[in-house]
């Protein structure tokens, strides 16, 4: 009789351990995997936008550059950045579409201090390009990334 009780107790313990695993551990594992997937997606989108920002350098007027000024063709810069984003996305299986791209242009407010290592190449009023891109993934998750690049004379 005691063997039968021991078997029932062992079966009960196995069932309780299985229920504990299914009800508590599996949801925690799923939440961890989902979080890690979002982190990887965010880093990937950030890398794509960051790698596409230097395309704005190609939109600088060469005539003005020879005079020591940076004049940016904003329309050309916008299309170049968008083109590079699409090109960078083609090499990655991202399962997302670029929903929107907003590119804003401004100038830096201050030159670097005299003793700063950038002081020779960073005068006041140099162009700053700030892009905000939004990707929508196939599962509905959205990723919004904002990157800036300051164009300087080299």
Reported as a single tens digit per residue, the pLDDT across 95-150 is: 889 999 998 888 776 666 666 665 555 666 777 889 999 999 998 899 999 998 88
Residue 123 has a pLDDT of 65
Domain residues for the domain of 106 are: 2-150
Count: domains in the chain: 1
CA distance 109 to 151: 13
129 contacts 151 by C-beta, under 8 angstroms: yes
Q: Over range 24-38, report the average pLDDT.
A: 87
64 contacts 70 by C-beta, under 8 angstroms: yes
pTM of the predicted structure, to 2 decimals: 0.69
């Amino acid at each position: 009789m005691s063997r039968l009780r021991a078997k029932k107790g062992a079966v009960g313990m196995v069932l309780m351990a299985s229920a504990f695993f299914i009800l508590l551990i599996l949801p925690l594992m799923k939440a961890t995997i989902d979080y890690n997937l979002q982190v990887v997606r965010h880093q990937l989108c950030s890398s794509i936008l960051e790698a596409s920002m230097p395309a704005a350098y190609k939109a600088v007027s060469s005539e003005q550059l020879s005079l020591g000024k940076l004049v940016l063709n904003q329309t050309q810069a916008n299309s170049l950045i968008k083109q590079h984003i699409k090109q960078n996305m083609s090499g990655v299986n991202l399962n997302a579409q670029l929903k929107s791209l907003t590119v804003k242009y401004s100038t830096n407010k201050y030159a670097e201090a005299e003793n700063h290592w950038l002081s020779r190449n960073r005068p006041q009023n140099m162009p700053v390009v700030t892009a905000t891109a939004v990707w929508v993934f196939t599962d509905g998750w959205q990723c919004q990334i904002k990157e800036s690049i300051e164009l300087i004379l080299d």
